[in-house]
Structure 1
Amino acid sequence: MSSFLGKRARIGVAIPTTNTSAQPEMDDMRPFDVTNHVARIAIDDDSLANAEGFRKVIDDIRRSTPSAIRSLRHCGLNAIIAAVSPDGYWEGWPAHEMLLAELTDAGGGAAIVMSANAILAALNALGGIRRIGLISPYLELGDEPVSRFFTESGIDIVATHGLGGRTPSNISNVTAVDLRNAVLAVNRPEVEAIVQVGTNVPMAKFAAMAESWIGKPVLANNPVLYWHALRCSGIGDAIPGHGLLYEAK
């Protein structure tokens, strides 16, 4: 690899224009001699409180994500993260696989990292976890398809809690109290790990702290995406302060 700054790996990150959490969180996780390269997925800040608005957001993501990823293809990237969640889950595995194939073609050979694949890989890396508490960024309208996707993947969702995001940009307007309450709401005795979906939820640092007081993995979406991108790029560094997953091989 010839890049002076990205001697070990170069990671692409395609992020919605409404998202203010994924880029800073992933920059905080960047190991030495690994560089991040960002493209924006153009979407409008439509309502997530009704089916029509949610569908418009999904359609915007579908239309714009391939071109955002295509804009990164000449950076010589090892992996490209599609830092969006709802489109990866909305219509189940067949639609997800079709989207993944399209993005793989747009990426020009780089490994494409999506939330659905990354989270399942993380659960396997942590010992084959199958019983989770699920934290969603959405209202009930968005919770159901995400839950169904994991159930169809053989994951038992013991409890679900939505953070109530009403627009894509509004998702980031959570507090530490909101995140604490969400963790407590889904942390049932039979839960083996807590999984948070939604790349605009700024939960990376809170998730790592929460592990210390519940004694279980707390998998925030952005750290999981970045972990999977690093592992797909041959980077196995343990990154202090980012939780149990970054210690897994």
Structure 2
Amino acid sequence: MPDVTGYRAKIGVIVPSTNTVVEHDVNKLAPHGITFHCGRMYVEQQAMGDHATFMGLQTQIRGSMSVALRDVMTAQPDLMMMGMSAPTFSGGVAGNEAFQKEVSDQIGGMPVTTGASACRAALEALDVKKISVFSPYQPVADEWVDQYFTEAGFDVVKVTGLRCPTATSIASVTPRDLVKVLEEIDTPETEAIVQVGTNLSFIRMADEAETWLGKPVVAINTATVWHTLRQAGFTDTVGGYGTIIREF
């Protein structure tokens, strides 16, 4: 018998325990009859204000991922979505593919969507090549993002990180702060803007920014939900959160 609320599909979502935005976003984007269920990766030390602490945060996330996957699998999901982004960009295209396989192997071969793969698929659907990107990260992760998109065939015009001091402080970045960032990274040659960092609240603002920038703006949480749905064969569209999930 199908699940009463998730009667079309149940999607597992893996997030850091410090993340307060992904659950909000997926529930805003969820079509009727498709439900999202989170497993949380325990983060004890949330500092990420310099290279050493940022890399330490990544180690904590990877170290607790198996338990989060174990826990969310008890809900018997149909697909798995990764609700964190930095590790999915590490190592470029090959690194993302290895990450997806690692996760899929732990959950019996179930399809896995990552933020990196989702953003790539969204940009390909939008048929753009020249992009500018922003993140909440330290420079090392911005280098990962640059490498991934470059290897995927995109021309990265600009990439910048907000250098947030802790994992939870990412969620405190305001729309006013992001207006300044968008103005700084938008250039005449930029065909689309991409936001990465799943704890950065941007799904609604991305849609609004498209109207005054006159170009696609891809929020990673929107892209990842969109890609997960499309991989599962669902064609539902959602208005108010950007071109990618409204028109593709």
How does the TM-score come out when normalised to structure 1? 0.93
- Equivalent residue of 2:166, what SS? coil
1:41 is displaced (CA, Å) by 1.0
Contact 1:139–1:164 (Cα < 8 Å) also in 2: yes
Alignment of 1:10-159 (within 5 A): 10-127=10-127, 129-159=128-158
1:185 is displaced (CA, Å) by 1.2
1:43 is displaced (CA, Å) by 1.6
1:156 is displaced (CA, Å) by 0.9
After superposition, the CA RMSD in angstroms is 1.6
Alignment of 1:120-199 (within 5 A): 120-127=120-127, 129-199=128-198
In structure 1, give the amino acid aligned to 2:171.
Answer: S
- Equivalent residue of 1:240, what SS? coil
1:182 is displaced (CA, Å) by 1.3
1:116 is displaced (CA, Å) by 0.8
After superposition, give the CA deviation of every residue in 1:190-227 in whole Å (9 maximum; x if it has no partner): 11110000000001111111111111111011111111
1:44 is displaced (CA, Å) by 2.7
Provide the C-alpha distance between the structure 1 equivalents of 2:145 and 2:99, rounded to a whole number of angstroms. Answer: 16
Provide the C-alpha distance between the structure 1 equivalents of 2:153 and 2:54, rounded to a whole number of angstroms. Answer: 26
In structure 1, give the amino acid aligned to 2:137.
Answer: Y
Provide the C-alpha distance between the structure 2 equivalents of 1:187 and 1:66, rounded to a whole number of angstroms. Answer: 38
After superposition, give the CA deviation of every residue in 1:19-59 in whole Å (9 maximum; x if it has no partner): 11111011111111111111101123433232221221111
In structure 2, give the amino acid aligned to 1:244.
Answer: T
Contact 2:114–2:224 (Cα < 8 Å) also in 1: yes
- Equivalent residue of 2:132, what SS? strand
Contact 1:77–1:110 (Cα < 8 Å) also in 2: no
Count of residue pairs brought into register by the alignment: 248
- Equivalent residue of 2:119, what SS? helix
| 1:244 aligned residue | 243
Identity of aligned residues (%): 34
Structure 1 gap segments, 5+ residues each: none
Structure 2 gap segments, 5+ residues each: none
Provide the C-alpha distance between the structure 1 equivalents of 2:161 and 2:59, rounded to a whole number of angstroms. Answer: 22
After superposition, give the CA deviation of every residue in 1:44-103 in whole Å (9 maximum; x if it has no partner): 343323222122111111111232123222433222111111111223333332221110
1:113 is displaced (CA, Å) by 0.8
| 1:213 aligned residue | 212
In structure 1, give the amino acid aligned to 2:157.
Answer: V
